[in-house]
């Protein structure tokens, strides 16, 4: 059983997926199982965020006592690890397999990863706190590795290429999801929130000089009817830039004499 103190003492070896959990005696509460607990936790996280999740509130949502949850999980960390792995399962690996080549596979993986982060704003701040070694997370990581291997990059260059693409996606999806969360908390649509915040920035007399150099790009970005159009356009183009960069680096490796690199 992984307790909170154990996690703090040895975080590199603390995960619900490494835990050898002792079987509970007797039977668990009727109608309750781990899948139902995880589904309810994801709903709560999506609606209320990380700070509002607790064993007590989760039990109330499920209509059971808090002690009932301990038949299936030992800590809130366990629940978060299960929830994180569950949403990794939203990435459509079958569609990736059906794609024409590694470029399309990278695009599909990146787009699904971004969408997952945006749907679940709690996911990106959680990801770095846990090992992410559940079955869905490992399957996604394996697919990313296999796809980058198809590019032709040498083994020692693949981690850098994976980082370039998927750390970009993580950052982009995090900013997009947190922007959406802030707009929702303000009771505004993303379009309203964006235009209002840009205007506040532009109308501040103390920022006049700094804003002048950004006028052209700000005008372009606020000229669209929907901020989602801008999110999608910028993401797609940035991803194309990264894929083109991988192609260039593959070509450089192929042209370098005697395995040297330029």
Query: How does pLDDT run across 220-235, given as a tens digit for each residue?
Result: 988 988 999 999 999 9
> Can you give the residue ranges of every domain in the chain?
4-88, 93-185+224-259
Listed residue (82, 92, 85, 105) closest to 33, CA to CA: 82
Is 113 a residue whose pLDDT tops 60? yes
Per residue, the 3-state secondary structure of 104-171, as one string, reads HHHHHHHHHHHHHHHHCCCHHHHHCCCCCCCHHHHHHHHHHHHHHHCCCCCHHHHHHHHHHHHHHHHH
Structure confidence at residue 221 (pLDDT): 87
Structure confidence at residue 4 (pLDDT): 58
Name the band, by pLDDT with cuts 50, 70 and 90, for residue 207: confident
Phi, psi of 211 (to 5 degrees): -70, -30
Listed residue (75, 166, 78) closest to 124, CA to CA: 166
Structure confidence at residue 129 (pLDDT): 87
Contact 143, 161 (CB under 8 A): no
Is 2 a residue whose pLDDT tops 60? no
Contact 2, 15 (CB under 8 A): yes
Structure confidence at residue 134 (pLDDT): 96
Listed residue (242, 249, 245, 255) closest to 152, CA to CA: 249
Largest Cα separation within the chain, whole Å, is 71
Topology agreement, domain 4-88 and domain 93-185+224-259: no
Place domain 4-88 in its CATH homologous superfamily. Answer: Homeodomain-like (1.10.10.60)
Is 119 a residue whose pLDDT tops 90? yes
Structure confidence at residue 82 (pLDDT): 97
Q: Report in angstroms the alpha-carbon separations of 14 from 19, 68, 73, 81, 202.
A: 8, 23, 14, 11, 48
Structure confidence at residue 5 (pLDDT): 61
User: 143-164: per-residue pLDDT in tens?
Assistant: 999 999 999 999 999 999 999 9
User: 65-106: per-residue pLDDT in tens?
Assistant: 988 898 889 899 999 999 999 999 999 999 999 999 999 999
Structure confidence at residue 215 (pLDDT): 87
Residue range 93-185+224-259, CATH number: 1.10.357.10
DSSP characters for 230-243? Answer: HHHHHHHHHHHHHH
Please state the pTM of the whole predicted model: 0.89
Cα 251 to its chain centre, rounded Å, is: 31
CA 161, 82, 45, 91 torsion: positive or negative?
positive
Q: Report the C-alpha gap between 132 and 128 in whole angstroms.
A: 8
Average pLDDT over the chain, rounded to an integer: 90
């Amino acid at each position: 059983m992984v307790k909170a103190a154990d996690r703090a003492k040895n975080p590199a070896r603390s995960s619900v997926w490494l835990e050898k959990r002792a079987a509970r005696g007797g039977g668990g509460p009727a109608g309750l199982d781990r899948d139902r607990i995880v589904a309810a936790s994801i709903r709560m996280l999506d609606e209320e965020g990380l700070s509002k999740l607790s064993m007590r509130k989760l039990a109330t949502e499920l209509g059971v006592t808090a002690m009932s949850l301990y038949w299936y999980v030992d800590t809130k960390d366990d629940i978060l690890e299960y929830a994180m792995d569950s949403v990794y399962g939203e990435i459509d690996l079958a569609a990736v397999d059906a794609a024409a080549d590694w470029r399309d596979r990278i695009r599909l993986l990146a787009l699904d990863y971004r969408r997952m982060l945006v749907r679940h704003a709690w996911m990106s701040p959680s990801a770095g706190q846990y090992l992410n070694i559940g079955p869905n997370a490992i399957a996604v990581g394996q697919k990313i590795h296999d796809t980058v291997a198809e590019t032709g990059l040498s083994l020692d260059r693949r981690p850098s290429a994976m980082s370039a693409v998927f750390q970009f996606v993580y950052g982009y999806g995090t900013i997009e999801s947190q922007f959406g969360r802030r707009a929702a908390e303000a009771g505004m649509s993303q379009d309203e929130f964006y235009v209002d915040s840009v205007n506040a920035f532009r109308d501040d007399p103390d920022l006049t000089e700094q804003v002048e150099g950004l006028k052209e790009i700000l005008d372009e970005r606020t000229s669209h009817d929907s901020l989602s159009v801008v999110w999608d356009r910028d993401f797609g183009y940035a991803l194309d830039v990264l894929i083109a960069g991988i192609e260039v680096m593959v070509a450089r490796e192929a042209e370098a004499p005697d395995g040297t690199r330029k």
